[in-house]
Amino acid sequence: MATESQQLYYKKLQSILKELPWYVKEYIDHKQRKLSTASLLNYCLDYKIFFNWIVSEQLFSGPIKDIPLSLLETLKAQQVEGFLYSLKYELNNKDITINRKLSALKSLFNYLQNIAENSDLEPYIHRNVMAKIEFNELNLNLETIANKMEGKILLGDEYENFRKFVAQDYGELVKDNKKLWNFYQVNRERDTAIISFILGSGLRLSEVVNLNIDDIDYVKNSARVIRKGNKEQYVYFSKIAMDDLEEYLKIRESRYEVEKQNKALFVAAAVGPKGKSRRLTPRSIEKLVEKYAKAFGKPSLSVHKLRHSFATRYHTEINDVPKLRRQLGHSSIQTTMIYTHIRNQDLKIAVDQMDIPEPEPEGKTDE
């Protein structure tokens, strides 16, 4: 059953598909079983930028949805390089962002040339210009990435101090501001549970947003999550996170006036006299993390940096890259290897506070 955020992404996806050529919709339909709706939406946003560029360069006159396959087949490599040039110097995209957009285009063109076929069993296009275009070289190695990350995550005592700040100290900071103090008192348990849950599991923002009450195993301290590619997996979280979650659950139903049919784990209060409590949105969680991070004195913190903070501690305490890869849901072990390059003497302080149950043998978990 689709969650509220998945339904929202689906509606946005269907809306933007109406603006794009028919063969893009066919490609998206082909990829729906393999990619999340959020990923497909990002693909379509990238395609819209590309097709709008085609019109702006006067390579086609008319709505972008009418751009024919024949035009794609006759694009020159120099023209595509011009598009990538505009991404960098006109839209200020970084090389890694340009690579992502190019990857989306390569995937579409590959489908049109090697997978899709017309009624005569011929491919949609015979010439694939994207196959000639190379990705930007990214000079950052794992150690460089790790060093850049190191100053933006929680290390040593900061890990527990930030959780404690959300649970208690922020209230002292804003006690003279009645509006901020009241808002904090209403959401203190919920916000603490969210921060603690990310710090104690390393879940992605979308995975936290989509959690339902029934997804939590209160005996094994694990949560059922839908990872990238719509893959179901059970992920462990810390005992501290469970304690904070249970404190929140004691007040969730009464304080937020949650209706029984609302199974969302993390909810927002109803808005207006006839409003209903609702699942917290990704942006709402991002904003609450930003609020506490700024007040804590570490404004660089984000949901993703909290995930990095968890991964760094996990690697330090357990030192098992394959297990960490599974916990984080990485498709490539190279991504997980970043955390083996973060070097900071304060990390040893975190060991005694680390409280993550040893995962069961792989065969006993639900992949």
SS3 helix, strand, coil % of the chain, rounded to 5? 60, 5, 35
Helix (H, G, I), strand (E, B) or coil at 221: coil
User: Is 188 annotated in the active site?
Assistant: no
Q: Helix 37-56 vs helix 4-17: angle between axes, to the nearest 10 degrees?
A: 20
Contact 257, 277 (CB under 8 A): yes
Can you tell me the distance from the alpha carbon of 224 to that of 341, in angstroms, rounded to the nearest whole number? 30
User: Is 343 annotated in the active site?
Assistant: no
Task: Find the angle CA(190)-CA(194)-CA(198) to the nearest 5 degrees.
Answer: 170
Please, which residues have CB within 8 angstroms of residue 33's CB and are 6 or more apart in sequence?
230
From the list 307, 313, 315, 325, the catalytic residue is: 307
Can you tell me the distance from the alpha carbon of 85 to that of 4, in angstroms, rounded to the nearest whole number? 38
User: Is 330 annotated in the active site?
Assistant: yes
Which stretches of 80-155 are assigned E, i.e. beta strand? none
From the list 228, 276, 278, 291, the catalytic residue is: 228
User: Is 313 annotated in the active site?
Assistant: no
* Exposed/middle/buried for residue 35 (C-beta within 10 Å: 0-12, 13-18, 19+): middle
Helix (H, G, I), strand (E, B) or coil at 35: coil
Please, which residues have CB within 8 angstroms of residue 312's CB and are 6 or more apart in sequence?
153, 155, 339, 342, 347
From the list 65, 152, 224, 304, the catalytic residue is: 304
Place of tokens 């003497």: 345
Can you tell me the distance from the alpha carbon of 336 to that of 329, in angstroms, rounded to the nearest whole number? 9
Place of tokens 């693909």: 43
Tell me which residue of 342, 363, 344 sits closest to 144, measured CA to CA.
Answer: 342
From the list 101, 188, 190, 204, the catalytic residue is: 204
DSSP letters, 159-187, are HHHHHHIIIIIHHHHTTT-HHHHHHHHHH
If DSSP states are collapsed to H, E and C, what string results for 266-311?
A: CEECCCCCCCCCEECCHHHHHHHHHHHHHHHCCCCCCHHHHHHHHH
Helix (H, G, I), strand (E, B) or coil at 251: helix
Place of tokens 């110097």: 89
Any idea which residues carry the catalytic annotation? Answer: 204, 228, 304, 307, 330, 339
